[in-house]
Every structure is written in C-alpha cells, then in structure tokens.
C-alpha cells in the first residue's frame, strides 16, 4: 500500500507539471499563430494602422495563458478542495482583469478602425476633425464603462451575499452615485458633461485652430477633463473642458479652414495707390499660398501722418494666411523702397518762426493745420 502511494504521488505531480507546461506552450502557440496572421494582414494593408498588435497583443496572451492554467488546477494531485477552490477563484479573477484589459484594447482598435478613412492631414479635414473628436470623447466613456463592469464582475465572483449586494448596488445606484459625485466633485462632473456636450455640439474639434486668451494654437487632445492646445511656439496650453462651454473663443476652422489674410501697410499721401494695387495683384497671382479665390487692395483709413492700406487675400488655412501675410508686407515694403522711397510716413515739424511767417502771410487756418506736425 505504501509502495503504491509513493509511486503514485510523483506520477501525479509529473502529470500536473506536464499539463501546465503544455498549456503554456499551446497558449503561446495559438497566440503566435493568430497574431502572425494579423501582422501578415497589416503588412498587406488590410488592417494597417488599427493597432491590433499594439493594443491586443499582451492582454490576449494573458487571457490565453490564464485560461489554460484554469484547466490545469483540477489535475493537481492531493490538492485540498478549499485550496483548489481558492486557486480557481484567484485565476478566474485574473482572467476577468485580463478580459477588461482586452476590452480596453478593443476600444482603441475600434477607434482606429472607425477613423481609418478620416485623415487629419487632408486639406479639407472638417469631417475628419468631427469624427476624431467624437470618438476620443466616446473612448473615455467606454473605458470607464469597461472598468465599472470589470469591478462588478469581480465582486460577483465572490460567494458572499454582501459582495453580491455591493456589485448589484454598483450598477443599480449609478444615478445616486452621479448625484453624490456631482455634489462632491462639481468641477470634475461639469467637465465630463462638458466633454459629452463638446463631442456632439462641436464647438471645438481635434485639429481645430483656436485663439484662447490671445494664444493661437491647435486642439491636440480632448480628454475627459481638459483640452490640450498646442501653441504655435510648441507650448501646450491645458484648458478645462468647461471653459469652452462657458467662455467665448475664436475658432478659425469651425466651418472650413478657409481664412482671409489682411496685412496693413502705411504710406504717405503722395504714393499712387493704383500702382501699389497693380504690383500687389501681380505678386499675389504668382504666390504659391494663394488659393485663387480673391484679393484686393484698399485704402481703409488715414490719419495726419499716413494712409492705411489693407492688402486682402484669401488662403486655404491659417498657416498659409500667416505666411502669405508676412511675404506681402516684405514685398510691398521693398517695392515702395525702390519706387517711392519718399512715400513712407514722415513726421513733419514746423518751427515757431515758420508758423509766425505763415500766420503773417495770411494762410487759411485749414492749410496751417494740414502742414503742422502730428
């Protein structure tokens, strides 16, 4: 009897270790085979850019290995029932966590799949910005939902009426919890609600060009609590979501990226405006950043010192608008320097002696006022 028992125990442990090793090998082999097919499809463009390997590779490996481990527990020899039950429960909880991890990865893959046809780098990307904004906000909501469901399943996995009650209450009292959160963390909840409102009313979208408190930048990221604005000088401005609902902002790409550029130049009254207009139109027509829709040069104001001339030109986007505006100022300044060097604004000054002579000569007051320096 003792001899049989001594020989039976090592054999049982050998079988358990063998099945455990086989489970690890099989799970890794299945994982390797599936993701080799995925990489092959991605290499040929079928799923390129979806991030399947990046977001699902590790969580799926964990699910495979833990599932195989769950089948190994019953073959472990001479294992007390209470210990086997606890081990199975622990492995099951790890599987639930791995499945939650896997579902979070699925959310990222779903986002990449739905956005694959919407390129933010396209010239007309209004629809792409709309879709990217909505899915970024929706992603945060789905991940939060997955975390809650995972926590509920973990509580339900215990054979305890109190924990069952807590798990059921976690779902049933979502409305009460929202009210408690609203009173305890008003700013956080307002940002979450503002994020939902932004996703569907679209005051801002991903890659929109905005001006906030005098800073020009692009919407780089929209989270569940704040918006990251990439300023033109590569700084990042972190703005709470509720700010965009409660305050006016400039959105230069709300309907389209088209925008007007209107640099101003200031010249003396002696300059011929018609010749400036001809030179301006000649320069703009050959400029690569002009979109071909419209241009114009007008005298928009004057003062005692100079005329204000506005050079209006249409552009495809705000970056082109800024660059062509700088080029127009530089070119028109060079042209005036070469053709009409005396036409830049001058400050005129008359001495008291000259004023006395003009007064004694009987010049009209209007002429005197026009000749005085500003």
Distances (CA, A) of 250 to 61, 207, 236: 47, 14, 17
155-256 matches 259-343 in fold: no
Domain 155-256, what fold? SH3 type barrels. (2.30.30)
Cα 274 to its chain centre, rounded Å, is 46
Q: Which CATH class is domain 259-343?
A: alpha beta
Query: How far, in Å, are 144, 189, 209, 218, 282 from residue 319 at the CA level?
Result: 37, 36, 10, 11, 22
DSSP symbols for 81-118: HHHHHHHHHHHHHHHHHHHHHHHHHHHHHHHHHHTTT-
For residues 255 and 137, what is the distance between their CA atoms, to the nearest angstrom?
Answer: 20
* Domain map (residue ranges) of the chain: 2-116, 155-256, 259-343
Identify which of 336, 262, 338 has the alpha carbon closest to the alpha carbon of residue 306: 336
What is the rounded radius of gyration, in angstroms, for the C-alpha atoms of the chain? 36
pLDDT tens track of the chain, all 374 residues? 444 444 444 555 666 677 777 777 777 777 777 777 766 666 655 555 567 777 777 888 888 778 877 777 777 666 677 777 777 888 888 888 888 888 888 888 888 877 777 776 666 666 777 777 777 777 877 888 888 888 878 877 776 555 555 555 555 555 455 544 444 445 566 666 777 777 777 788 888 889 988 888 999 888 877 899 999 888 999 998 888 888 888 888 877 777 888 899 898 888 889 999 999 999 999 999 999 899 999 999 988 788 899 999 999 888 888 899 999 999 999 999 998 888 777 665 555 665 565 566 554 444 444 333 33
Measure the N-to-C terminal CA separation of the chain; round to a whole number of Å. 121
Which tokens is 311 given? Answer: 């050079």
Task: Outline where the chain has alpha helix (H).
Answer: 2-43, 52-72, 81-114, 126-156, 161-172, 174-184, 186-201, 241-246, 273-285, 318-339, 352-360, 365-371
Eight-class DSSP state of 308: E
Report yes or no: 189 and 179 within 8 Å, Cβ to Cβ. Answer: no
- Rounded to whole angstroms, the Cα distance separating 370 from 173 reads 80
């Amino acid at each position: 009897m003792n001899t049989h028992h001594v020989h039976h125990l090592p054999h049982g442990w050998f079988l358990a270790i063998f099945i455990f090793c086989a489970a690890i090998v099989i799970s890794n082999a299945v994982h390797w085979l599936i993701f080799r097919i995925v990489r092959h499809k991605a290499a040929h463009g079928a799923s390129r850019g979806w991030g399947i390997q990046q977001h699902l590779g590790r969580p799926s490996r964990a699910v495979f290995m833990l599932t195989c481990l769950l089948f190994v527990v019953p073959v472990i020899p001479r294992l007390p029932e209470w210990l086997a039950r606890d081990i199975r429960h622990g492995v099951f909880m790890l599987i639930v966590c791995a499945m939650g991890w896997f579902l979070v990865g699925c959310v990222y893959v779903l986002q990449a799949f739905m956005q694959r046809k919407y390129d933010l780098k396209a010239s007309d990307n209004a629809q792409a910005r709309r879709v990217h904004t909505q899915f970024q906000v929706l992603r945060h909501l789905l991940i939060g939902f997955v975390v809650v469901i995972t926590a509920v399943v973990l509580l339900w996995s215990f054979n305890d009426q109190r924990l069952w009650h807590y798990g059921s209450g976690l779902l049933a009292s979502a409305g009460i919890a929202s009210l408690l959160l609203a009173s305890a963390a008003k700013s956080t909840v307002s940002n979450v609600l503002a994020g939902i409102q932004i996703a569907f009313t679209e005051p801002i979208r991903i890659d929109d060009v905005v001006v906030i408190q005098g800073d020009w930048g692009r919407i780089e990221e929209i989270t569940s609590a704040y918006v990251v604005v990439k300023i033109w000088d590569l700084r990042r401005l972190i703005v709470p979501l509720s700010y965009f609902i409660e305050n006016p902002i400039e959105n230069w790409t709300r309907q389209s990226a088209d925008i007007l550029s209107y640099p101003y130049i200031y010249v003396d009254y002696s300059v011929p405006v018609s010749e400036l207009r001809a030179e301006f139109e000649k320069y703009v027509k050959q400029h690569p950043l002009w979109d071909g829709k419209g241009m114009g040069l007008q005298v928009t104001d004057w003062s005692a010192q100079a005329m204000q001339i506005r050079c209006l030109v249409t552009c495809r986007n705000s970056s082109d608008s800024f660059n062509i505006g700088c080029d127009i100022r530089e070119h028109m300044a060079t042209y005036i320097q070469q053709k009409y060097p005396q036409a830049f604004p001058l400050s005129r000054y008359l001495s008291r002696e000259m004023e006395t002579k003009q007064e004694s000569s009987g010049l009209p007051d209007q002429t005197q006022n026009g000749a005085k320096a500003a």
